[in-house]
Amino acid sequence: MPRRRLVVLDAPTNLGLRPPAPGAVPGCYKAPWTLRDRGLLRDLRAEDGGAVVPARYLAAWKAGDGVRNADAIARYSRELADRVESILARRRFPLVLGGDCSVLLGNLLALRRRGRHGLVFLDAHSDFRHLGNSPAVGAAAGEDLALVTGRGDERLVDLEGLGPSVDPRDVAVVGVRPEDECLSELDELGMCLIPSDRLARIGATRAAAAALTAVTNGTRGFWVHLDADVVDAAEMPAVDCPETGGPSFRVLGNLLRRLVDAPGCMGLEVTIYDPDEDPDGRAGDRLARCLRESLSCDRDGPGGGRRTGA
C-alpha cells in the first residue's frame, strides 16, 4: 500500500437525528469544531480538507413522512461522496468528522462508485430499523446500516441508481450491545457480529482479525464507521443515547489501530459525539486522545505504510 497522508474533512450534519427537545436541534454538528479545537489536525499532521456544509435542519415530522430531512440527506450524501472521492483520488486517507451517523451514506457512496467494499461498523446500536421490522422510519441516524444495505426510505437506499452501497455479507458489526433487537436479523443476513460482551471476552486483537476477514474477502477495501456511543457510557456520556456495557477508550483505541493500519482500509468516520452533552469537555478530551493515539503519524499509518507530514 502507498503512504497516505491523513485528510480531515468535516461533515457537521445533524439532519439524521430527532430533535433532542421541542424547539431544539441536535448538537452533534459541533463535534468537528470541538475536536479541531483540541489540536487534532496539528497532532495528526493532517491536511485540512475543509467542510461539507449541510442544509438547514428541519424538525417538523409526522408518521408516514419517511425519513426526516430525507431529500436534504440525499443531496448532502452526494456532495459528501464527491469530496471523499476526491480525497481518495489523491491517494489520501480521509478522516471524516461528523455529525450524525447519516454521514455513512455519503462515505459509502464514494466507495460504491469504485466497486465492492466492506464496512466495519463500530456502534452500540445496530441502526437497522426499517419498515420490515418497525411500524415507521423517521431518523436516518438510527437507520443508517439498514439504508446502506438497501432497506428503508426509497429516497436514500439507491443513491445514483447504484443499488445498496454494501452487501450485508461484507459488514462486520462490532460493539453492538447483546440485547439489540436486530441482532438475529443481522446474523441471518450473514453479517459478522461481535457484540460488546464477545469483544470483552476475545479482546481487540482477535476482534479486529475477525472483522477484517469478513470485510476484505473479495472486496476492494473497507470503510470504518465509529459511533462514539460504542464506548461505555461511563467514559462517553456525551452522545444522544449513551449505553453501558461497552468497551473502554483503551480497548477502542487498540481495535481502531488494527483496523486503520490494515491494508485496504479506505477511511474512517467519527459520529454522534455531542458537545452540548459535554459541559466539562472530558468526553471530548477522551475521544480526541483516542483518535490521536490510533492514527498517530509516529507509527505505521492508515491503510498500510508509514505516514509522514510531507
d(CA 129, CA 138): 9
pLDDT at 296: 83
d(CA 13, CA 261): 27
- Whether residue 106 is contained in a domain is answered as yes
pLDDT at 2: 37
pLDDT at 301: 55
- Whether residue 19 is contained in a domain is answered as yes
pLDDT at 59: 83
The residues that bridge with 94 in the sheet, in sequence order, are 7
- Whether residue 302 is contained in a domain is answered as no
CATH at residue 161: 3.40.800.10
* Domain total in the chain: 1
Count the helix, strand and coil residues of the chain and give each as a percent rounded to the nearest 5. Answer: 40, 15, 45
DSSP string for residues in 233-278: TTT---SSS--SS---HHHHHHHHHHHHTSTTEEEEEEE---GGG-
- Whether residue 147 is contained in a domain is answered as yes
- Whether residue 175 is contained in a domain is answered as yes
pLDDT at 64: 72
- Whether residue 309 is contained in a domain is answered as no
How much is the pTM? 0.94
Instruction: Quote the domain boundaries for residue 241.
Output: 6-295
- Whether residue 145 is contained in a domain is answered as yes
Per-residue pLDDT of the chain (310 residues; tens, 9 = 90+): 335 899 999 999 999 999 988 888 999 999 999 999 999 999 999 999 999 999 999 888 777 778 999 999 999 999 999 999 999 999 999 999 999 999 999 999 999 999 999 999 999 999 999 999 988 888 999 999 999 999 999 999 999 999 999 999 999 999 999 999 999 999 999 999 999 999 999 999 999 999 999 999 999 999 999 999 999 999 999 999 999 999 999 999 999 999 999 999 999 999 999 999 999 999 999 999 999 999 985 555 565 543 433 2
Beta-carbon contacts of residue 234 (< 8 Å; ≥ 6 apart): 244
What cell does 295 get?
A: 492514527
d(CA 51, CA 20): 24
pLDDT at 1: 32
- Whether residue 190 is contained in a domain is answered as yes
